[in-house]
Amino acid sequence: MSRSVTLAVVGAREIAKDLAKKSTQSDITLFHLVQGDRALSFVEPTQYPEKYPPLLYALALSDRALFVVPALDRSTAETAATLDLFDLPVEVLHGPAVGPEELARAFRGLRIASAPVRPFDLVRLREELGSVERPAQEGPPIVVLDHSFPVKGVGTVALGFVRQGTLTAHATLRLYPTERSVEVRSIQVHDVDVQEASGGERVGLALKGIEVDELSRGQLLAPDGTLTVGTQLAGARGRLCPYYRGDLRVGAQLQALVGSQLVPAGVIAREGDTIRVETDRPVAWKRGDAFRLADLSAPAGPRAVGAWTL
């Protein structure tokens, strides 16, 4: 078990700031809390619900989710429908204006209906977060990147999370889905120089052999040959959003989320709970990963479409 855990805080803004120290901010905002050998990172979809992708990114980067429900409205319904497409442990924390019976009715038909529900209590939440852990994921190191910037005297710096395995300084890795190789010159974990970082840890990486403008959110660092790269995604064991109102037909133009890579995609085949889509540019994944489809132009109802296993 890893004592470094990332939690998405969704459903209400301005919650994570009372749990941890604010760090990187863009369309998502990250907060970090370090207590001895325990480190918690919180991801808040800052620009949601005005924009849908931040919600997808926050959930894709996280190990668990805290769903704070101050009221029942359209964004609450869409957040619940989107959470249903992610295999994340979820805890529902409701405000005084919402009761468990109302939540049960609102979440009927969704897997989140079986998630633990209790009133929001900041003191109790802080206490319980002290025991949260994530399962260790064995295998070669995989790092998902979410932000990057140049640092004078250092060069290109990328921020991300180690998703599995152990990352070591001076390792040469492939930047997926590209064919570029980069060297990890140095590693920082919460601003402390280290020689290695394990699964779940938030890392800052000084990279050699790549410029900042060549990096983008969702790219992965992993040994060459460990991930699959392609533009056709064949999904099985599909789970559709029960409230999606669009027509998931051959030819439909949607967005595919593969890991944290969000790219335009078109449906090229569909039969039963299987689907095949083609993305407009290459993406990377490992066997058993899931991809989600979203409809950013949906005029009504949730923008979540469904999830499939690769």
Q: What is the pLDDT of residue 1?
A: 62
> Residue 305 — very low, low, confident or very high, per pLDDT cuts 50/70/90?
very high
Domains present along the chain, CATH in parentheses: 4-129 (3.40.50.300), 142-222 (2.40.30.10), 228-309 (2.40.30.10)
**Mind listing the pLDDT tens digit for each residue in 76-99?**
999 999 999 999 999 999 999 999
> Residue 2 — very low, low, confident or very high, per pLDDT cuts 50/70/90?
confident
- Residue 294 to residues 32, 244, 265, 283, 291, Cα–Cα distance (Å): 29, 10, 10, 16, 10
Only one residue has tokens 């204006």, namely 97
Phi/psi of residue 279, nearest 5 degrees = -90, 160
Cβ atoms within 10 Å of 46's Cβ, excluding its own: 17
**Residue 155 identity (one-letter amino acid):** G
Q: What is the pLDDT of residue 168?
A: 97
**Residue 67 identity (one-letter amino acid):** F
Cβ atoms within 10 Å of 253's Cβ, excluding its own: 13
Q: What is the pLDDT of residue 52?
A: 97
**Mind listing the pLDDT tens digit for each residue in 255-264?**
999 999 999 9
Please return the burial class of 264, using the count of CB atoms within 10 Å of its CB with bins 0-12, 13-18 and 19+.
middle
Mean pLDDT of the chain: 95
Q: CA-CA distance, 68 to 66, in Å (whole number)? A: 6
**Mind listing the pLDDT tens digit for each residue in 108-142?**
989 899 999 999 999 999 999 988 888 888 899 99
Mean pLDDT for 198-207 is 96
Kindly write down the DSSP assignment for every residue of the chain, as one continuous string.
-BSEEEEEEESSSSSGGGTSEEEEESSSEEEEEEETTEEEEEEE-TTTTTSSHHHHHHHHT-SEEEEEESS-SHHHHHHHHHHTTS---EEEEE-TT--HHHHHHHTTTSGGGGS-EEE--HHHHHHHHTT--B----SS-EEEEEEEEEETTTEEEEEEEEEESEEETT-EEEEETTTEEEEEEEEEETTEEESEEETT-EEEEEEES--GGG--TT-EEE-TTSSEEEEEEEEEEEEE-TT--S---TT-EEEEEETTEEEEEEEEEEETTEEEEEEEEEEEE-TT-EEEEE-TT-SSS-SEEEEEE-
pTM, two decimals, is 0.96
Which string of b and e fits 149-158 if b means at least 16 CB within 10 Å? eeeeeeebbb
Q: What is the pLDDT of residue 66?
A: 97
**Mind listing the pLDDT tens digit for each residue in 149-163?**
999 989 999 999 999
Percent of the chain's residues with pLDDT above 90: 90
Q: What is the pLDDT of residue 137?
A: 85
Q: CA-CA distance, 308 to 288, in Å (whole number)? A: 10
Q: What is the pLDDT of residue 300?
A: 87
